[in-house]
Amino acid sequence: MRHPGLIALLLGSAFFVSACEGSKQDSVSRAIDSVIDVDNQNMADLMLSAGNPEEAVSYFQAQVQRDPSHLGNQRGLSRSLVRAGRVSDAVPVWKTVADHPDATHDDRVMLADALVRANRWDEAERTLNAIPPTHESFDRYRLEAIIADSKQQWQKADHFYETAAGLTTRPASVLNNWGYSKLTRGAPRDAEALFAQALQHDPDMFTAKNNMALARAAQGNYSLPMVRMTQQERAMMLHTMAIAAIRKGDTNVGRTMLSEAIETHPQHFDEAVRALRALEGGGRG
């Protein structure tokens, strides 16, 4: 004898169990996808921050080939190409990113950055001008400053450098750039002050140390700045100041500083040796 009610109940239970199993499988799949996404993002971050630049390029090229529509992979490829010094290759990829429906203003700023690195200044300026002025970021104003600098628009450049420095907790690089701009304009005292500020934020930035030595030499001050330096850095800064002194006509000072640089350097200092030999061979004190 059949029991229709019991059969219906059993069928209903089987359906319920099947539905539960399906739901569990969906949950597991979503969890696995989530873990994979996190792992991929972690790998991408690692490649962009600590990985070998060329290895990062290869990694992101493979990711883009696997999923060309993934905007994060395109961004990663663009950044890794810039890190690898392959700016001409990075520009078209950044353009692809900037043209994507989900692109942000930051993407367009980074396109402008790549264009500046590629010496395509007019394109970089047009790219920045197309971004609404309401978009305010460190990178945007850093680039605005560099472009104004290239056009010798000093007042605009100073405004943008100052604005950029105020938008980051790590302003050493932009302060160093601003100082070098002042130095090229013939304002070495202002430049020295900016290099000193850069070193307050990053005491290990050798470029700022060397530029500071150059700024002091431009003022006729041939004493090394009171900053933290290694023996090799000291030798290189002495060499920088020596060359500056020779160009100013202070040949004896330059000769003395070259000799000191050679003695100070922990290894053989080829550049200083060549400069001193050239000076002794053809220079007059």
Residue 167 DSSP label: T
Residue 268 lies in a domain: yes
Residue 4 lies in a domain: no
Residue 30 lies in a domain: no
Cα 32–Cα 46–Cα 90 angle in degrees, nearest 5: 110
Q: Which residues contact 94 (CB under 8 A, 6 or more apart)?
A: 78, 107, 110, 111, 114
Q: Which residues contact 142 (CB under 8 A, 6 or more apart)?
A: 160, 164, 174, 177
Residue 150 lies in a domain: no
Residue 235 lies in a domain: yes
For each of the chain's 285 residues, which pLDDT tens digit applies? 455 554 444 445 444 444 455 555 555 444 434 444 444 556 666 666 656 888 888 888 898 888 888 898 999 999 999 999 999 999 999 999 999 999 999 999 999 999 999 999 999 999 999 999 999 999 999 999 999 999 999 999 999 999 999 999 999 999 999 999 999 999 999 999 999 999 999 999 999 999 999 999 999 999 999 999 999 999 999 999 999 999 999 999 999 999 999 999 988 889 999 998 988 875 444
For residue 28, what pLDDT is reported?
A: 41
For residue 251, give its domain range.
230-285
Count: domains in the chain: 1
